[in-house]
């Protein structure tokens, strides 16, 4: 299906498909944006034929590498489906439904501070949250770090960040240069 990407015009049908797909994905994305990637892939590739599976894989990698949340994958899929307008529609549709829920729950949560159950949740779930943070580090390391040099860099940087107040940007810059030079 040929689409004029980059063009501002988008057919009403495509616009509705974009809003429906990503609006639904927004509500289904419990546990983070990555949980609905398989569903988005199925719809965008097999149902709507906006792009090929290989292109979807490449867009996923681009969204991971670019700054900001990796759910901006939907911006790229929307862009392929309906140009810049499609990209913006997809982004808003992916954020708005879940965002309204988060806003309402956040207000309720904040207004209940001091209640026993609030104190218990804040105190009891802190160790759980820390376990989850460490787990996400381990999971990312397992999928992205393939060389001993990378693991050594992670270990050294972890020590430096734990022991000093050094701005992490210095380490990020140094690591980027090391990568560019082929050292890791």
Partner 1 sequence: MSRDRPSSDVSLGRLAATFCQIALASFGGGLSAWSRKVVVEDRGWMTDEEFLSAMTLCRVLPGANQVNLAIYVGSKLRGPRGAVAAVLGLIAVPVLIVLVLGYLYFRNGSVPATQSILRGITAVAVAMTFAMAYKTGAKALRSLPAWVLCAASFLLSAVFRVPLPVMLAIVAPVALWWAWPARPDASP
Residues 28-47 that bind partner 1 (CB under 8 A): 28-33
Contacting range for partner 1; rule: CB under 8 A; set: 11-19, 37-45, 90-98: 90-98
Is position 52 an interface residue for partner 1 (rule: CB under 8 A)? no
| Beta carbons within 8 Å of 91's beta carbon, 6+ residues apart | 72, 74, 75, 78
Among 27, 49, 52, 57, binds partner 1 (CB under 8 A): 27
Give the contacts of 96 (CB within 8 A, at least 6 positions apart). Answer: 23, 26
Cα–Cα separations (whole angstroms), residue 147 to 142, 143, 168:
11, 11, 22
User: How many residues contact partner 1, by CB under 8 A?
Assistant: 98
One-character DSSP codes across 159-176:
HHHHH----HHHHHHHHH
Of 124-153, binders to partner 1 (CB under 8 A) are 124-141, 144-145, 147, 150-151, 153
Residue 121 interacting with partner 1 (CB under 8 A): yes
The Cα 135–Cα 141 span in angstroms is 10
- Any contact of residue 2 with partner 1 (CB under 8 A)? no
The residue among 53 and 129 lying less far from partner 1, judged by its C-beta, is: 129
């Amino acid at each position: 299906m040929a689409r004029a990407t980059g063009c501002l015009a988008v057919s009403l049908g495509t616009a509705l498909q974009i809003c429906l797909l990503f609006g639904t994905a927004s509500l289904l994305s419990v546990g983070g944006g990555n949980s609905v990637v398989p569903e988005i892939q199925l719809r965008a590739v097999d149902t709507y034929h906006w792009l090929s599976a290989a292109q979807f894989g490449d867009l996923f990698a681009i969204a991971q590498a670019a700054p900001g949340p990796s759910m901006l994958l939907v911006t790229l899929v929307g862009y392929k489906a309906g140009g810049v307008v499609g990209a913006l529609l997809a982004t808003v549709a992916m954020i708005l439904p879940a965002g309204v829920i988060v806003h309402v729950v956040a207000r309720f949560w904040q207004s209940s501070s001091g209640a026993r159950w609030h104190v218990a949740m804040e105190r009891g779930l802190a160790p759980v949250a820390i376990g989850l943070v460490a787990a996400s580090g381990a999971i990312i390391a397992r999928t992205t770090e393939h060389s001993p040099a990378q693991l050594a860099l992670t270990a050294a940087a972890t020590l430096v960040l734990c022991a000093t107040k050094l701005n992490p940007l210095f380490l990020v810059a140094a690591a980027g240069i090391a990568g560019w030079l082929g050292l890791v």
